[in-house]
Every structure is written in structure tokens, then in C-alpha cells.
Structure 1
């Protein structure tokens, strides 16, 4: 059975801007993609020189950053450390118990990601690419979920939809997961604070903070085009399938993909499937599969 290795697979579908021509070397985060041009390498070097390393702290639901720059005046660092809104702390405490790590193994393949409970009958939403890449849909494939307190349970694949990258799992009632409230359609606003919750790099119960950077972002994820929620909350391999939640603890999207520079990890541009889309697909899957 697949276990959390700390490697954070799967990375998630790569992001390709629909404004870029297919096959251009400007494509971001495509493993094994075309070689970067000299201009692209210069841009990558410039961006790398400007990069800020963010350290996300899950315990207590806090998220902060360290900037390697000039020394701050005395006392200024303490003021910055106290700037995390208390409602984000409450949102993290509310959400984490309803989020699980997802581990899939079958056909000689394995994958890990995240998921979250959406109802009181223990249905869990996650990304289809996690199940697909882990061989969970193949004969003999197995899916396990791990709760925030370390308990593991076998999960049933209720159904999958590759075009939307949504899959639904079901776990026994003994798991006792609390379903997460979903944001109302049209209620999400650019600039509002959000938390990405999941198991990046196999680190379960991790919370990272940011804002909604854009709505209705037209992107191509894998082979399909999507209208996505864009965020600068750190999303890394293993976050796929986890919830993006607002300061009220409501799910606004399903974390699905990141833009990278030469596959270097999170650069503060992540994408989530809007929750109204994910809910519609999940309801259809549940209606067909129980």
C-alpha cells in the first residue's frame, strides 16, 4: 500500500496558458517538456533572482514567510509576525479535521494527494488525476485515506470524471469526518484571504495562506481547458485534491495545479477548480454511483 513518503506525488496536471501556442518553450512546469530558449532561460534566471522563499507552518493554522533581505529595525519583525488575521486561525481549526491524505496504489503505480469531506455520508472529493496516476481504477487497485489524527481507512472509488479532474471517494461511517461547508456561488472575491489545506510533500494537515489572485482564469490543465480560481497561497505536489477555503472556513475551490518555472515547485501561482463546478460534478458522480 502506498504510504506518505515526503516526496509529494503527484505533482498535478501542468498549467499551460491558453494564450500560449501549443508546444512553445514558454510553457510552465511541463515535466519533460521542450527545451527552454535562451530568452526563456534569461527570464527564468531573472525570476529566480527575485524569488522569495516562503515557509508555511501548519501547526496552529499559521502561515508566514521569511525574506532574505536587509535586517529589519528592532521590533518590526514581531509586528509582522502578529499580522495573521485571527479568523484564518479559526478557519484552519475548523477545516483541518475534514481534510484527508489520499494514497492510491494499483497496477504497479502509486500516487498521493489530498481530499475533503463534502457531506454527512462520508463522500470525499479529490482530483481524478490522483486516482488515475495511482492505478486506483485498475483491477486490484486500492485507495486509502489518512485523517489529520493519523488514522487510516480503506476508501471506495464512487466515480471519476477526467474532463473536470474530479473524483469522489467514500469511507466508512467510523471515520467520523466532519463535512466542510461550501461557499455560495458568486460569493468569492479577488483579494480575499484564503487557506490551501492538504498534504504537500506528504506533510498532512498543512495549511498555507494567501489571497484570491484572480477569478475566471482561463487555463489549460492537462488536456482540458478550465475556468479556474487563481491563488498565491502555496500549492505544492501533494496538495492536489485538497480544499481552498476562505476566512469563514468555506470551500471556494479544489486545489488542482501549479505554474512552475522549469518544474521548480510553487512560485505563488496556483489554480483551483471553482467549488460550484466541483460540486456539480460530484453530485452527478454520487447520483450515478451511490
Structure 2
């Protein structure tokens, strides 16, 4: 059964299950992991993992072929799927306005996610649960070019899981345009931009799968935009943008099966809710 979960602290590729040995094979010395049903379940899981790795490898090869094809024609160029020009343009416009958000004491952040600029006063939208998981520690943002700045917390709204930060004017972040309220359509292509697993500037593509999904966002149930664009821990607070590069929502939660990773069902706070909450917070906090 699918379980909804928030997108909080990233768990990187260095994580290894205690039931697996250094070579990635099941450790049969773990209690209950004998030749019976348990071992068969492990074999099934390994086969599933192998299938996922294979898919990732094929996808990476296709992407690599497309990039190589830009510099010169070759066999890989013919087999690479065409990339819609409008999505490429949208990604190019969006990435410079997206930041990584790190919360914690000292160099080691205790929580991290994403955010994006919404105006020329260097206000940044992000998720409140990132700040909550960071224990109200010092907030730092990292820009797409690697520059880092201490961020002021202008205000927080746990009920909608939104928060507004502000960085010094010298940061020069370009604000992202916001889509018109209620203009998002089911089936339109979208990009999720952020820092999944700490990988800054990551862009994934999908479509708007549904509108007005009733899910728990923050402390209450609210309407959300559902998407199949791949989002993972670390994408929290990042923008979901349409093919015109307009923000249609803030990536906030995913549905999982037994709490294990993205299954292509993600949820974003609709832009009309984001705009309303941001205006209120900025009006109060300056």
C-alpha cells in the first residue's frame, strides 16, 4: 500500500542495508535469512534492484548519447530520444534561480532541501519542514554557481509547510516567474528542479498527473498538484515548472510503497497557495 511521506533529509548512495554484505549480496547469517521464504524474498528484491540498475544504465546511456550528438553525429545520436526544445529552454531559465537550502550548526548541516527566488528583493521560497528538521539551526543557501550565503528566516507557516528566506542583495538571484492561478492543466509537461540526494541543479521531467489531490501538507490536508516527475529527498522546497518556465507548485511530498523511494507519485503545493502564503509572510516580516 502506498504511503505518503515528506521530502526531508537526503539519504545518499553510500547507504547500505545491514542485511547486505560488502558485495551487495544477502548475508545469510542474519537471523531469519535462511533458505526458506525469507531467502526467496531477498532473491526477488535483488532481481528488482538489478532491474532498476539496468533501467538507470539505459537511461544514462540515452542521455549521454544525446549530449554527444550535440557535438557530432554518430550512432548514438540516431538512437537518442529527441528532447522537446521548450523543456530545454525552461530548464536553462529555471536552474539559476534555484538554490540548495542547508540547516544546521557549523559545516555539517542537519537538514537540507531546495528553494527558489520569487522576487528581486532576494526572497526565497522553501518548505517549512526543512527548517523544522534542522532544529531551527543556522540557514545557509548555495547558489547554482557554488556561492554560499547565510539566509535570514523571514517567516514560517507550518500549516501550509512553507517558509520564506532572504539572502543579501549581492547574491543577485533571478526570480522565477509564477504561473497564473488555476492555469495548470492535467497532462501538461513539467520539470522538477532541486537538489535530490544533495545533487544540486538536478532537473527531472514528467507531466501533471492530477489536480486537487487531497493530501497532508504541513499540519493540514490540502489540495495538491500530483506529478510523475521524479522527486526524491532533497527536492523539498524546489519548484515544479511548466514548459514556459513558470512555477506551478512547490515540491513537498511523495508517495512510497513501504517507505522505499520515489514511485513516480509526487505532490506539490499549488502556486496559488504558495503566492498567498508568501505574500502574507513577506508582508509581516519585510
Say if 2:160 and 2:219, in contact at 8 Å, map to a contact too: no
Secondary structure (helix, strand or coil) at the match of 1:277 reads: helix
Give the match for residue 266 of structure 1: 262
TM score, norm. by length of structure 1: 0.73
User: SS state of the match for residue 273, structure 1?
Assistant: strand
CA RMSD across the alignment:
3.1
| Alpha-carbon distance in 1 for matches of 2:203, 2:263 | 16
Offset of 1:222 from its aligned partner?
5.4
Match of residue 285, structure 1, among 260, 281, 284: 281
Structure 2: gaps of 5 or more residues? 1-6, 11-40, 65-73
| Deviation of the 1:221 alpha carbon | 3.6
**1:81 aligned onto 2:76:** no
Q: 5+ unaligned residues in a row in structure 1: which ranges?
A: 1-7, 12-40, 57-62, 66-74
Relative distance call for 1:216 and 1:179 in structure 2 (3 A) is same
Matched residues, number = 235
User: How far apart are 1:220 and its partner, in Å?
Assistant: 2.1
Aligned twin of 1:113: 113
2:256 is paired with a residue whose SS is coil
> Which residue matches 1:101?
100
Alpha-carbon distance in structure 2 between the residues aligned to 1:161 and 1:111: 18
Native 8 Å contact 1:87 1:247 kept in 2: yes
- Are 1:106 and 1:135, in contact at CA under 8 Å, matched by a contact in 2? no
Question: 2 CA distance for matches of 1:124 and 1:94?
Answer: 16
Q: Is the 8 A contact 1:55 1:64 kept in 2?
A: no
Which one scores higher on RCO, CA 8 angstroms, separation ≥ 6? 1
CA contact (8 A) 1:229 1:253 kept: yes
Q: Distance in 1 between matches of 2:139 and 2:246?
A: 26
Which deviates more, 197-206 or 254-263?
254-263
What secondary structure, in the 3-state scheme, does the structure 2 residue paired with 1:119 have?
Answer: coil
Q: Mark the structure with the bigger radius of gyration.
A: 2
Relative to structure 1, the CA distance from residue 109 to residue 146 in structure 2 (aligned partners, 3 Å threshold; closer, same or farther) is closer
| 1:1-80 map, 5 Å | 9-10=8-9, 55=56
CA distance in 1, matches of 2:98, 2:56: 21
CA drift of 1:64 comes to: 6.0
Q: Is the 8 A contact 1:9 1:201 kept in 2?
A: no
Q: Distance in 1 between matches of 2:83 and 2:182?
A: 26
State yes or no: 1:92 paired with 2:88: no
- What residue is the counterpart of 2:141 in the other structure? 145
**Residues 64 and 162 of structure 1, relative CA distance in 2, 3 Å threshold:** farther
